[in-house]
Amino acid sequence: MKTNWENAVLGGIFMLAIAGQCDLWAQAGASQPSVLHIQQTQTTLPPNGSVPTFLAMYHILAGAKSPVNVLALKGTLSLKNDSQNFSQVLWVLPFWQGQCPANDIGLQNVAGFLWIDITKNPSRSTASFPVDLTFPNPLSATGCIGLYYGGGPVFAGETTMTADLELTYSPTTSNANTIINGLGGEYCFGQDWGCQNATVIDGEAFAAPISLNTSGHLLEIYGNISDSTFDGTKNFGPLPTGASWGTINDFYLLPGGCGIFTQNLNSQGFPNPAPLSTLYGWLPKDALHLASVPQVERIPTGQKGMAALQNQVETIFSAPIKVNAGDCLVTIYGRSGNGATDNETQVLGLMGP
């Protein structure tokens, strides 16, 4: 949920206001796959209008000078609210080349991002989210890796954020795979403010395009989706009512360009809302449907909906998809039901030669 104190950074990664940092050194073997244990927890009670961020640094092998294949990422993320206030946390695995920085809490000098995840919790509870990613086509990184994370309640309250992750890696001499950023986005439904854009009209949706500037083969898309109600307080729009509410999350590859989708962007470069049927109608006949992640919450009779619908995205293409420079990736965000929701994806693509 983006408010006026947040800024978009590097195509969907947002940077928050207050910084904390710690440095950790990891021991690793030299030839066989090794495991880096990443364990971090912070409890935050931020002042109104700001939210803390943290950066833990991990040095494996010979640090930033060591090329590394990332083979898997597994573990658990959790977000514990001690009050009835909507909260969220962004998790990022950046890496650096050349040398490991002493302090890069602003992520100004990173070489790339290996993984991004968003977790949300709209109630006084503990929300846990499993991470279980295996990369048959390894991610290219170095031995200087960080866990950047930040968030908490948007307006008030205390939140504890915890990551317990295991990253499996091995040394390598070369890896030509590259990561595509920019498939992430955040759109609000049922209220007229917040996120990258918002709509109060039922049946409207958003389609976010990104143009690819390199050729190669699309090997995989991976990450997560967190589509959440708010907390029922006056700070946000109303909770959903009725039998259910749900979300639509579709990913497409459009050969030859983004076409009409680029004509529907506002002055900030974010898509304007349009009827969902219209957006699907804009897809060309040769559009390739890469993945679909529908989500739904059934609402008990006489009650209101309050939940974060969260799913991992991991689509590995057994036959890599040929991509040409100028082709387009489009993410469609839709919503069924009523009430106010915050729909967000944090998804990356993996390209090979």
pLDDT tens, residue by residue, 182-194: 889 999 999 999 9
How many whole angstroms separate alpha carbon 269 and alpha carbon 285? 25
Alpha carbons 46 and 218: distance in angstroms, whole number: 41
| Beta pairing class for 197-199 and 185-189 | parallel
Task: Say what the pLDDT of residue 155 is.
Answer: 85
Does the pLDDT value for residue 160 go beyond 90? Answer: yes
Tell me the CA distances in angstroms from 314 to 112, 163, 173, 259, 311, one per residue in order: 19, 20, 26, 27, 10
| pTM of the complete model | 0.92
- Tell me the pLDDT band of 49, cut-offs 50, 70 and 90: low
Q: What is the pLDDT averaged over residues 166-190?
A: 95
Report pLDDT for 116. Answer: 98
pLDDT of residue 39: 98
Q: Give 154's pLDDT tier (boundaries 50, 70, 90).
A: confident
- Give mean pLDDT, residues 150-158: 89
| Structural domains of the chain, ranges and CATH numbers in brackets | 1-175 (2.60.120), 176-353 (2.60.120)
pLDDT tens column, 203-260: 999 999 999 999 999 999 999 999 999 999 999 999 999 999 999 999 999 999 999 9
Tens of pLDDT, residues 26-42: 444 446 899 999 999 99
> What pLDDT sits at residue 32?
81
Q: Which residue reads 């409207």 in tokens?
A: 204
296-349 per-position pLDDT tens digit: 999 999 999 999 999 999 999 999 999 999 999 999 999 999 999 999 999 999
Cβ 75 vs Cβ 165: under 8 Å? yes
User: 73-98: per-residue pLDDT in tens?
Assistant: 999 999 999 999 999 999 999 999 99
Question: Does the pLDDT of residue 51 top 90, yes or no?
Answer: no
Predicted local confidence at residue 16, as pLDDT: 34
HSE of 156, CA atoms in CB hemisphere, 13 A: 7
Whether 25 has a pLDDT exceeding 80, the answer reads no
Give residue 2's pLDDT: 53
The whole-number pLDDT of residue 1 equals: 59
CA Rg, the chain, in Å? 20
pLDDT at 265: 98
Residues 92, 14: Cα–Cα separation, whole Å: 10
Please report, for residues 47, 65, 306, the alpha-carbon distance to residue 110 in angstroms, rounded to integers and kept in the order given. 29, 14, 37
Q: State the Cα torsion 153-156-162-167 to the nearest 10°.
A: 30
Which band of pLDDT confidence, cut at 50, 70 and 90, is reported for residue 47?
low
CA gap 321, 231 in Å, rounded:
41
Span 289-299, average pLDDT: 98
Kindly state the average pLDDT of the residues 169-187. Answer: 95
Q: Mind listing the pLDDT tens digit for each residue in 5-23?
A: 343 333 333 333 334 444 4
Instruction: Provide the token pair at 153.
Output: 């309640």
